[in-house]
Amino acid sequence: MEASQFKSDQYVRFCPGCGDHAICMAIQKAMAQIGIEPHQVAVISGIGCSSRMPHYLNTYGFNTIHGRGGAVATGVKTSHPELTVWQMSGDGDCFAIGGNHFIHEIRRNVDLNVCVFNNRIYGLTKGQYSPTSAKGFVSKSSPFGTIERPFVPGQLVLGAGGTFFARTLDVDMPTTVDCLVAAQQHKGCSIVECLVNCVIFNNGTHAWIADREQRAEHSIILKHGEKMIFGKNNDKGLAVEIDPHTFVPKMIVVSADDPRVLTHDATQQDPTLHRLLALMGQDRFVEVQKDGAPEANDALPVALGVIRNVEAESYDEAVNKQIADVREHAKAHCFDELTATLESWEM
Residues at the contact surface with another protein, assessed by CB under 8 A: 8, 10, 37-42, 44, 54-55, 58-65, 68, 71-80, 82-83, 100-101, 104, 319-320, 322-323, 326-327, 330-336, 338-339, 342-347
The nearest distance, CB 43 to another protein, in angstroms, is: 8
Nearer to another protein, 56 or 285 (CB): 56
Nearer to another protein, 30 or 41 (CB): 41
Element (H, E) at 337: helix 335-340
The nearest distance, CB 330 to another protein, in angstroms, is: 3
Nearer to another protein, 5 or 272 (CB): 5
The nearest distance, CB 294 to another protein, in angstroms, is: 41
* Residues written for the chain: 347
The nearest distance, CB 86 to another protein, in angstroms, is: 11
Q: Measured between alpha carbons, how far is 55 from 287 in angstroms, rounded to an integer?
A: 35
Give the strand pairing for 113-118 and 190-195: parallel
The nearest distance, CB 345 to another protein, in angstroms, is: 6
- Cα angle 72, 198, 5 (rounded to 5 degrees) comes to 55
CB 189 within 8 A of CB 112: yes
Amino acid at 276: L
Give the closest residue to 2 by CA, choosing from 42, 33, 27, 26: 33
Nearer to another protein, 42 or 278 (CB): 42
In sequence order, the β-bridge partners of residue 320 are: none
The nearest distance, CB 223 to another protein, in angstroms, is: 33
The nearest distance, CB 245 to another protein, in angstroms, is: 41
* DSSP structure string for 153-193: HHHHHHHTT-SEEEEEETT-HHHHHHHHHHHHHSSS-EEEE
Nearer to another protein, 71 or 192 (CB): 71
Output the furthest CA–CA distance in the chain (Å, rounded): 90
The nearest distance, CB 157 to another protein, in angstroms, is: 16
Nearer to another protein, 285 or 315 (CB): 315
Nearer to another protein, 17 or 75 (CB): 75
- Cα angle 188, 303, 226 (rounded to 5 degrees) comes to 80
Q: Measured between alpha carbons, how far is 277 from 161 in angstroms, rounded to an integer?
A: 16
Give the strand pairing for 190-195 and 164-169: parallel
Nearer to another protein, 110 or 280 (CB): 110
